[in-house]
Amino acid sequence: MGFPWRGRLEHGVALRESRTVRIVPEYAGRGHQFGTWQLVQLLERAAERVEQRLPGARLSVGEISAEAGGHLDGHRSHQSGRDADVGFYMTDARGRPYEGIAFAEFGADGVGLGGNRMLRFDDARNWELVGKLVADGDARVQHIFVSNALERRLLREGRRRRAPQTVLDRAARVMSQPGHHPHRNHFHVRVYCNPAERGACRDRAPFHSWYPGRPPHQGS
């Protein structure tokens, strides 16, 4: 209901840990893993896809929304169940999947920053994730916030893996680095409102070409 930055959540669905999904321990205790069913299922489908293509690692999820939505400490949005923080797939220096207790920051070279220099940004799995998120036909992704440097790495990986041009184009449109937070340590994923809930659920620009149906009037 409402906007991602001024809204609440009705009928929120809890994202559960599974064979392919984990909650990052730093964020597990607060129980803020409630989202719309579209978003929760999208994350589950994306995790499943990555596991099929590149087995051996789980998707790392941080906070989504509180059970009834509303303000979450440390976030501007995350109020209406349509935003999820997703940790990067990462490996150790020998390429083995690594599950951290918290998010880890990565620079343009894909090496962990600060105390995480032994970690590597998992280009292959992170690209599979982004490619699946933007190509999903049911939940339509509006934003993936991530640093410009990591966006460039991901698009390069997508081209290297010969991803379809439409997927590369969508990924390039959806990924961006917001001004207030560079997102060097996680993806922030936002989906558009479920078309059946529009009216109560409010979308704002940008309206990409894959927006389902007709975009609402600006500012209405």
188 touches Zn ion (CB under 5 A): yes
- Cβ atoms of residues 79 and 7 within 8 Å: yes
Q: Residue 150 CB, nearest distance to Zn ion (Å)?
A: 15
Give the nearer residue to Zn ion in terms of CB position, either 73 or 219: 73
Give the nearer residue to Zn ion in terms of CB position, either 15 or 168: 15
Give the nearer residue to Zn ion in terms of CB position, either 141 or 168: 141
Q: Residue 176 CB, nearest distance to Zn ion (Å)?
A: 13
- Which listed range, 36-44, 65-73, 173-181, 182-190, lies at the site for Zn ion (CB under 5 A)? 182-190
> In the range 77-96, which residues lie near Zn ion by CB under 5 A?
85
Alpha carbon 41 to chain centroid, angstroms: 12
140 touches Zn ion (CB under 5 A): no
Give the nearer residue to Zn ion in terms of CB position, either 168 or 191: 191
Contacts with Zn ion by CB under 5 A: the residue count is 2
Query: Distance (Å, rounded) from C-alpha 172 to C-alpha 149?
Result: 13
Give the nearer residue to Zn ion in terms of CB position, either 129 or 163: 129
Q: Residue 75 CB, nearest distance to Zn ion (Å)?
A: 5
- Cβ atoms of residues 43 and 21 within 8 Å: yes
- Cβ atoms of residues 42 and 194 within 8 Å: no
Give the nearer residue to Zn ion in terms of CB position, either 4 or 120: 4
Q: Residue 22 CB, nearest distance to Zn ion (Å)?
A: 17
Positions touching Zn ion (CB under 5 A) are: 85, 188
